[in-house]
Chains A and B, each alone.
Chain A
Amino acid sequence: MESVLTRYRNVTILVAVLFAQILGLAIQVKRTTDNESSSLIRIWALDLVTPLERGIVDAQMGIAGIWRNYFYLRGVRAENRQLKQQIERLQMEQVRLSQDAEQARRLQVLLGFKEQFVSQTIAAQVIGSSGSEQSRSIFIDKGTLDELAPDMAVITAEGVVGKVLHAYKSTSEVLLINDQTSGVGSILEQSRLQGVLRGTVSGDLLLDKVMNDEQVQPGERVLTSGGDQIFPKGLLIGTVRKSSRGSEAFLDVRVKPAADLGRLEEVLVITQKEDRTPEAAEAGPIRAVDILADRLPSVPVKPLSDKPATTNGTAAPNPLAKSTSSANTATKLKPKAPAPQTVFDAPPDTAAGEQAPPTEAPQTHATPDSEPAKPETPPQ
């Protein structure tokens, strides 16, 4: 026996090592939750790898900062001018969106809708990735010490990124939405069709469970539906790239992610969200005559300025998908109602959290003395 083992020493060791690993895999599969031993291995590996990655990121950011702040100042004046113009444009856009949001909020109050609001976010730096095509995940430099927990939504100003999969002490693993095991409840902005967004092996996004007999147009925006209980409703995920008939009963809808998932640097983790019905105070005083007037057809009101926010006839790129969504909802319900000409105060609670939530509808409040102006509707 001993001579056999000595003779086949290499094969014996190979079989033993493989057997140990297969046993370990079987144990992990059997247990639905991440068991302690595998968690420990992950923690050790992360403790080994992430300090190096963090060091590289810090060094890279330091060098980039020196370059940007001291050497690369060419074109700053022109850029400043451009940005000022952009601010003016966005301010006008904000006024329009505030009005639309206000209308939507009033309707929500009337209909008793409950809405999920992003109430707190934490900014985090991306320090690495899994480096594998079979596992599209990234590591961020915030963990349980910063009150991060699994299943928290991760976003950028551009759109949805993924969710926290594992939260360790000072790092967290984020599962990207283009991973093959990922699934996000989604809704198409215009057609209101719902589906599940999944990743593919090549890192594309596929909107699944949309029936073959439906029409989906390229360019349509895809938002979170809120059905997965992870992502608040109305966050921008991306736009439809192409749509074709699938092999089964469902359409093959490919989606281009709004966030550049391959080049993420900073992300926001939604650490707190709350379910609440928009309060009547937020919506401002509502009078029966306003509701009645809103329901009547009217002549469209002239824009506030000759060069409104939507110059060139197209809306500026807007990460506030929720606002737009709300606006669209409002528009659908009241197609002929003009926006009330109201001046809104800045929201008192937009500074909640470290960052202003990029997805929340502008939380504007009507001032007590600024009632919405009644739209002038011609008598029928």
Chain B
Amino acid sequence: MAITYTSKEQIEVYRFGLPATIAVPLFAVVAQSFLPHWIPFFTIFDLPLLIVIFFAVARRNPVAGLLTGAAIGLLQDSLTHQPIGLYGIAMTVVGYGASSLGVKLDVENAGSRFLVTLFFFAIHEVIYFSVARGMIRLGLHWSWSHELTSAFANAALAVLLFHLLDRLKQRT
């Protein structure tokens, strides 16, 4: 019997096999670390964040969502030179929020996925910058144009990526 990681919600709840649960986030973190080396503009994307949103929305379990977000966020933090926890906190909130939203809304079509990603990208950035500036006193500069571009780019990528990742879903 395959070990799975699933929620207890009743309808439209998906689960993922253990290989997908581990390999997909790991692949996202590695790709996020590796691809900007070859495609410099790739730093505009945030693959780990998209993975957190995808898993959270599909599982529709807030606890699973926030734990996934915390784990991926902390892993991402470990690869930066900033204190560990900045991405962790932001992704924890995103994971919790996305899974809570997934319980109430249909987030299976491309349009809603685009909007959900746009919304949670903004939440992620606001939390990240708030913690970095307010708590760590990092002199990070906020640029509206840059954040908006990133948000739309990530939302567009999310639609394609989520479509591919749908194949990993297993119905409960």
Contact = CB atoms under 8 A, between A and B. Distances in A.
Task: Please say whether chains A and B are actual partners in one complex.
Answer: yes
Interface of A: 9-10, 13-14, 17-18, 21-22, 24-26, 28-29, 38, 41-42, 44-46, 48-49, 52-53, 56, 126, 128-135, 137-139, 165-166, 173, 175, 179-181, 200-203, 262-264
B34 A56 contact: yes
Interface in B120-164: 128, 131-132, 135-143, 146
Interface of B: 26, 29-30, 32-38, 40, 42-44, 62-63, 66-67, 70, 74-76, 78-89, 92-93, 96, 100, 128, 131-132, 135-143, 146
Contact of B79 (A13, A26, A29, A49): A49
15 contacts: A9-B63, A14-B92, A25-B83, A29-B135, A41-B74, A41-B78, A128-B79, A132-B32, A132-B43, A132-B87, A133-B43, A135-B80, A139-B79, A180-B138, A202-B143
B80 to A, nearest CB: 4
Given A45-B75, A129-B37, A262-B40, A200 B141 contact: yes
Given A17-B70, A131-B33, A135-B80, A22 B146 contact: no
A44 B71 CA distance: 13
Contact of A21 (B79, B85, B96): B85
Contact of A53 (B33, B67, B89, B131): B33
Most chain-B CB neighbours within 10 Å: which of A18, A46, A132?
A132
B37 A126 contact: yes
Given A17-B66, A49-B26, A130-B81, 12 more contacts: A14-B62, A18-B89, A25-B89, A25-B136, A41-B74, A41-B84, A42-B84, A49-B75, A131-B29, A132-B79, A137-B80, A180-B139
Contact of B141 (A29, A201, A263, A264): A201
A42 B43 CA distance: 20
Given A22-B89, A25-B131, A129 B139 contact: no
A227 to B, nearest CB: 21
Most chain-B CB neighbours within 10 Å: which of A53, A134, A166, A180?
A134
Contact of A13 (B30, B66, B82, B136): B66
A49 B30 contact: yes
B81 A166 contact: yes
A134 B86 CA distance: 11
The dominant DSSP class at the B interface is helix
Contacts of A13: 63, 66
A52 B26 CA distance: 10
CB-based closest 8 A-B pairs? A262-B40, A45-B78, A135-B80, A131-B32, A25-B85, A201-B141, A28-B83, A10-B62
B33 A22 contact: no
A354 to B, nearest CB: 23
A50 B22 CA distance: 16
A18 B33 contact: no
A218 to B, nearest CB: 23
A131 B43 contact: yes
B89 A201 contact: no
B22 to A, nearest CB: 10
A28 B84 contact: yes
A32 to B, nearest CB: 12
A134 B140 contact: yes
A134 B80 contact: yes
A25 B135 contact: yes
A139 B37 CA distance: 10
Contacts of A46: 78-79
Nearest to A55: B30
Contact of A181 (B67, B78, B138): B138
A23 B166 CA distance: 36
A48 B26 contact: yes
Contacts of A29: 83, 135-137
B37 A21 contact: no
Contacts of A17: 66-67, 70, 92
B79 A131 contact: yes
Nearest to B31: A131
A29 B86 CA distance: 12
